[in-house]
Structure 1
Amino acid sequence: MEAAGIFLSPALQVIFDRLAYPALQKVAEIWGVEDNLDSLRDALMRTQVILQDAEEQQLTNKPVRLWLSNLKSAASDAEDILDFFIASEAVFRFKNPATYFSFPITTASVAEKIKKELHRLEKTINEGLSTFNFRVPCTEEDWLLRRRLKFFTNKRETGSCVVDSKIYGRDDEKEKLVKLLLSKGTSQDGYATCIPVIGIGGIGKTTLTQLAYNDERVVKHFDCRIWIFVSEDFDVKKIMKIAIECATEDECKLLEIELLQSRLSKLLQKKRYLIVLDDVWTEDQDVPLLTGGLDGCKIIVTTSSQKIPFMMDFPNSPFYLNGLKDDDCWSLFKHRAFGRREEEKYPNLTRIGKEIIKKIGGVPLAAKSLGSSLHLKREEK
């Protein structure tokens, strides 16, 4: 029996994120299984509604615990096959970038395996929802509304400063990104080189970019550094106004895009600049590229979208950010959950915490959130 029961919310969130993968949407159309993906998303949402009650009931209700165990197994297998698909698609894309949007799963057995595992996951979810009388924290509609409101209100604007006092497990990735920023050369026709930093929500894209942005070598290398938080509202005029204001430290009152472009080009002319576009969501328009700077200008775009690098005219190889190792996640978790060296006083809680870490898919945000939620809680239950 696992310590402190089976904890599934982070694992199901990882599945939810994987289902949003653009290439999966494309092949779903080819297979004609878009409705299957939609129904699975709906099932996942309904499960999240009752998951807290289910996780509490498992301590006294063995059938509920068995269902959660089966759900964990189905979720794990679904995540494995989706990760296999994403990795295979990435290899295909790098070898054949011109045919990215026509990427098919050419091996029928792989396609059938994906459909089989996703169907198994949905079936397991529905069996539990129809069998057990789980308590919903309020009406389901109100719960979902609160969940969405919480998501958007928690989408705080980012800046260039690193907020976390301690960062774990990103030294190698930071060094790689810094080297890309310091590399010479621009794209053809004098455009700045774009570096897309890609990963699922909460994986640490912004934090990694902040670390590189503030590295002493990067600060010395660039004449001008500009950080712009984009989020859902991809407004080119707004982006240019913010860039002008960052470069001049003064309010920009220009309204016409031609005037904005001209002003920004003059400001950046004969300068080596670094521009960060953080948290880009849009997949409907090109990311603006700039000319006129010195050799070695860079633009970093952080995003969860796999499409955005291929919307750029001259993209660099995307920088894919993976999850942290369990040891690093544990360090991050215990930093939030315990005081200094306090975990040594609670070996039973340490054991439970390490079991939790195995289930969160290496997502730093999940480790921080769970650690914070368990701060000062010292009862095993």
Structure 2
Amino acid sequence: MTNRFINAALVLMASLGLTTGANAGAILNAVKERGEVVCGINTGFVGFSMPDDRGEWRGLDVDFCRGLAAALFGDPSKVQFVPLTPSTRFTALTAGEVDVLFRNSTETMLRDVTLGLRAVTPYFYDGHTFMVSADSGVTKAAELDGATICLLQGTTNEQITADFFRKSNLGFTPVVFERSEQARDALDSGRCDSFGSDSGNLAAVRLSMRDPKAWSILDERFSKEPYGPYIRRGDDEWYDVIRWYVNAMFEAEENGITSENVEQIRATSADVGVKRLLGVTPELGEALGIGPAWVVNAVKAVGNYGEMFERHLGPNSKLGMSRSLNRQWTDGGLIYALPMR
């Protein structure tokens, strides 16, 4: 659709009294009036949300929160972090205790349609597997018949584990915990034979074990676990802001726009799409009801998607993960920016 038709549609919507980004919904208005965004994160997950030695939150999810604050207010510090467990994250969001969840939460149909919430858009792709003792000799999940398995309450991993063992006509005993560190301690003490979770979470848990080399993560994957932000239903404008903010971080990487060069590219690029993305022409920010430099401010604050991934999850980070499914689509991955026009 051309810009001429888009502008005509916006005029028609305004004449009919329909909502656009300039006429914000309740959540977006509340965030603007408060002057900060309240972001629900994990209580402790290396690479995604974990306090550093000074008590500062660090991780991919944390950076998404800070980048959102920068997009909205031009200041990445305009964010309040609320650590939430798997079993409290959705109730806290529903109750209005947080504005958005960036908390390694898998987007599923039932969560999206039955909880009064809205899954926005995936930003990380993972899969369920199991961690076992390296000297156990277990290399496939089918060899865990009769095992005691640590699981986290309120996660998709409970159902996935049960479904796998049922389908395979195998038996297991679940031991359910509220926090990863509780499951880690149970595994380390021998109370459980295995820990079933997403591979990224298991990699983080393994780092905190007394002897990380004593534990192996199976190569098999038993589910699709697309992590994405969640918001409450009923505010299309807030949904639009979160959805297109995440998409913009993908788009910045796709165009080679980084925290180091974003200002230079904004000042010199002749590319129409880049000028639109970076607010030289202001229609994207206007459509969302936020400032024209929203993408510039976000990328300056935390970098593009690739920079965030490499800093917290990549080969040179503590987790040492490859991009794998989280590569750009041009490199065989699933990270694909929708057209920002």
Question: TM-score, normalising length from structure 1?
Answer: 0.28
**Higher RCO (CA-CA < 8 Å; seq separation 6+):** 2
Question: TM-score, normalising length from structure 2?
Answer: 0.31
